[in-house]
Amino acid sequence: MADSVFRREESESRGTRVGANTYNLVIGLVLAWGFLINWIMVRKIPYSSIANINQWVFYIGYFAACFLGMALFTKSRNPFVSFIGYNFVVVPFGLIVNLVVYQYDKTLVVEAMRVTGLVTVVMMFLGSMFPGFFRKIARALTVSLVIVIIVELVEVFIFKVHHGVIDWLVALIFCGYVGVDWGRANSIPKTIDNAVDSAASLYMDIINLFLRILRLMGGGRR
């Protein structure tokens, strides 16, 4: 996710360097902001107001906002502009989260959030401990994700079925991505802009992981 963020060299000037603690704190705060916005959206925006949007309009707007957001935070050297781009990703993701969590019991949603949090912490730890391993599997993860998404689209739109193994595969892939992106985040110059950009990439990993974990835990208990 947003690989160009993690290809920055030490020679690239993207702002004043900060200490590791400050850098990681900014990543945490930016992630927390995104999750807070999503929580507010789920609480305050009625499911029906999203579900009633024309499907084509919704998806065109969703992808347009996400691509605009990713372009902003990957290309900008200004942390404020990068943060604006991050929010262009957070809001459409929040609409998807709203549509999904509405289908499940609140207790199950909380359980899925807890599991996602624990898995994320573990994968970040592993990403810090074995950055070399995660760098090696990054390309394989990308290829696997593309293949799985194509298979899932064919299943859903052509055969009108969905196999649970797809959710397991996607969840495992995004577990890997959390480790990859956390390891990468700590291998690039520690600046505020890079912290915001890294948080944006991690946010997308974690939200996708949460949605799949929720689906796996939900099973037939909707």
| 44 located within any domain | yes
Q: Could you tell me the pLDDT band of residue 3, with boundaries at 50, 70 and 90?
A: low
Query: What pLDDT sits at residue 11?
Result: 43
pLDDT tens across 19-64, in order?
Answer: 999 999 999 999 999 999 999 999 999 999 999 999 999 999 999 9
Q: Taking the model in full, what pTM does it have?
A: 0.90
Query: What pLDDT sits at residue 161?
Result: 82
pLDDT tens across 94-142, in order?
Answer: 999 999 999 999 999 999 999 999 999 999 999 999 999 999 999 999 9
| 6 located within any domain | no
What residue numbers bound the domain in which 126 lies?
17-216
DSSP string, 5-69: GGG--TT---S-B--HHHHHHHHHHHHHHHHHHHHHHHHHS-HHHHHTS-HHHHHHHHHHHHHHH
| 7 located within any domain | no
Query: What pLDDT sits at residue 220?
Result: 45
Query: What pLDDT sits at residue 1?
Result: 47
Is the per-residue pLDDT at 174 higher than 90? yes
Of residues 156 and 166, which shows the higher confidence score? 166
According to DSSP H, which parts of the chain are helical?
A: 20-44, 47-51, 55-75, 79-101, 106-129, 131-154, 164-185, 192-218
> CA 101 → CA 22, 45, 60, 143, distances in Å?
33, 12, 22, 28
Query: What pLDDT sits at residue 6?
Result: 54
Q: ∠148-27-18 over CA atoms, to 5°?
A: 135
Inter-residue contact 100 to 212 (CB < 8 Å): no
Number of domains, the chain: 1
From the list 110, 113, 134, 122, the residue with the least C-alpha distance to 187 is 134
| 37 located within any domain | yes
Question: Average pLDDT in the 199-212 region?
Answer: 97
| 90 located within any domain | yes
Inter-residue contact 199 to 30 (CB < 8 Å): yes
Query: What pLDDT sits at residue 5?
Result: 57
3-class SS of residue 96: helix
| 81 located within any domain | yes
| 124 located within any domain | yes
Q: Could you tell me the pLDDT band of residue 157, with boundaries at 50, 70 and 90?
A: confident
Distance CA 70, CA 77 (A): 13
| 162 located within any domain | yes
Q: Hey, what are 190's tokens? A: 């520690």
